[in-house]
């Protein structure tokens, strides 16, 4: 086993992506696949799992202590990084990326690193749309907002109803749990579940498949090690969108 103490990185710059989301760039590039994640140590606060939105950056939505602290950090501040961990996406052929909210973070790299990608982004409103300008330069982008302030008025799963999903070889999805459940249902309806991969989020402590905090029903897969990317077929009979376990291991519905 190599010595796995956290790699200490210095923050190079912080880019505001939306009123609640920022991207934090490091001075270190992590050799990784899109969809892999790192454990980010905010010294004195906590350590949290975050997708790499670029090989040298994470994109953070302020939701709790650690993320709020992270978002307030400045160039020159230091973080500890363990990883990259997890399996990442397996991309081939014509690809559709479906993002909801900050779920766009692990999918951005799919558009930046693969040649034939179409993108769907969903957000609460126009201000919360992530990476729209960068993506528009690279690929075809369609937008859905909950309030109709930009693009399709409604959820991304609704937008999907109008799409010829069967023409894609790979469909990659990341977003809030209920959004992913709706997308999974829609893809099942359109007979395209077998091409789909979803990146999941669960409470994690170890990141290496030992502690069991992120175990996923029905078969006890470790989201950190066996995932975080799982096939649509696998997820059909899973806990996705039904419940998850909190830090104590208690189910929350």
Partner 1 sequence: MITLKKSPVRIGEVSVRNHLILAAGVLGTCASSLLRMLQSGAGAVVTKSIGPEPRPGHAGPCLVVLEDGILNAMGLPNPSARFSDELEKLSNEPVIVSIFGGNPDQFAEVAGWFANQAQAYELNVSCPHASGYGAQIGTNPDIVKACTEAVKSQGKPVWVKLTPNVTDITAIGQAAEDGGADALVAINTVKAMRISTPLKRPVLGNKFGGLSGKAIFPVAVRCVYELYDACSIPIVGCGGVSSAEDVIEMMMAGAQGVEIGSALYSNPDLFQNICRDLYSEEGYHWKEIVGCAHA
Interface residues with partner 1 (CB under 8 A)? 1-6, 8, 39, 41, 43-48, 78, 80, 82, 205-213, 215-220, 222, 225, 245-251
Nearer of residues 162 and 252 to partner 1, judged by Cβ: 252
| Min separation Cβ 218 and partner 1, Å | 6
Closest CA to 44 of 21, 16, 73: 73
| Min separation Cβ 204 and partner 1, Å | 9
Nearer of residues 15 and 236 to partner 1, judged by Cβ: 236
Q: How many CB atoms lie within 10 A of CB 138?
A: 16
| Min separation Cβ 49 and partner 1, Å | 10
Residue 79, token pair as written in the block: 């973080």
Which helix (H) or strand (E) segment holds residue 113: the answer is helix 104-113
Nearer of residues 1 and 164 to partner 1, judged by Cβ: 1
**Residue where the block lists tokens 């210095």:** 10
List residues bridging with 13 in a β-sheet: 25
| Min separation Cβ 10 and partner 1, Å | 9
Closest CA to 4 of 38, 33, 29: 38
Nearer of residues 49 and 106 to partner 1, judged by Cβ: 49
| Min separation Cβ 237 and partner 1, Å | 12
| Min separation Cβ 83 and partner 1, Å | 11
Nearer of residues 133 and 250 to partner 1, judged by Cβ: 250
Question: What is the SS3 assignment for 160?
Answer: helix
CA distance linking residue 196 with residue 96, whole number of Å: 9
Query: 203 Cβ partners below 8 Å, 6+ apart?
Result: 213, 214, 244, 245, 246, 247
The CA radius of gyration of the chain, in Å to the nearest whole number, is 17
Q: Is residue 67 a contact partner of residue 61, using CB atoms and an 8 Å limit?
A: yes
Nearer of residues 101 and 207 to partner 1, judged by Cβ: 207
CA distance linking residue 249 with residue 246, whole number of Å: 5
| Min separation Cβ 30 and partner 1, Å | 16
Nearer of residues 30 and 113 to partner 1, judged by Cβ: 30
């Amino acid at each position: 086993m190599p010595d796995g103490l956290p790699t200490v990185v210095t923050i190079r710059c912080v880019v505001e992506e939306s009123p609640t989301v920022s991207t934090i760039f490091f001075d270190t590039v992590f050799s990784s696949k899109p969809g892999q994640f790192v454990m980010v140590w905010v010294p004195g606060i906590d350590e949290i799992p975050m997708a790499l939105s670029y090989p040298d950056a994470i994109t953070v939505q302020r939701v709790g202590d650690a993320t709020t602290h992270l978002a307030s950090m400045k160039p020159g501040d230091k973080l500890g990084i363990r990883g990259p961990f997890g399996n990442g996406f397996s991309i081939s052929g014509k690809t559709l990326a479906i993002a909801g909210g900050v779920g766009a973070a692990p999918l951005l790299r799919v558009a930046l690193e693969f040649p034939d990608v179409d993108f769907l982004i969903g957000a609460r409103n126009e201000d919360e749309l992530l990476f729209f300008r960068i993506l528009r330069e690279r690929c075809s982008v369609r937008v859905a907002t909950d309030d109709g302030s930009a693009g399709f008025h409604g959820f991304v799963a609704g937008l999907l109803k109008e799409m010829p999903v069967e023409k894609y070889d790979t469909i990659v999805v990341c977003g809030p749990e209920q959004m992913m459940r709706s997308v999974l249902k829609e893809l099942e309806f359109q007979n395209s579940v077998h091409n789909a991969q979803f990146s999941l989020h669960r409470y994690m402590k170890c990141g290496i498949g030992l502690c069991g905090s992120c175990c996923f029903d029905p078969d006890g897969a470790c989201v950190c090690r066996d995932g975080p990317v799982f096939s649509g077929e696998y997820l059909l009979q899973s806990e996705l969108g039904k419940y998850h376990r909190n830090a104590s291991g208690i189910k929350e519905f």
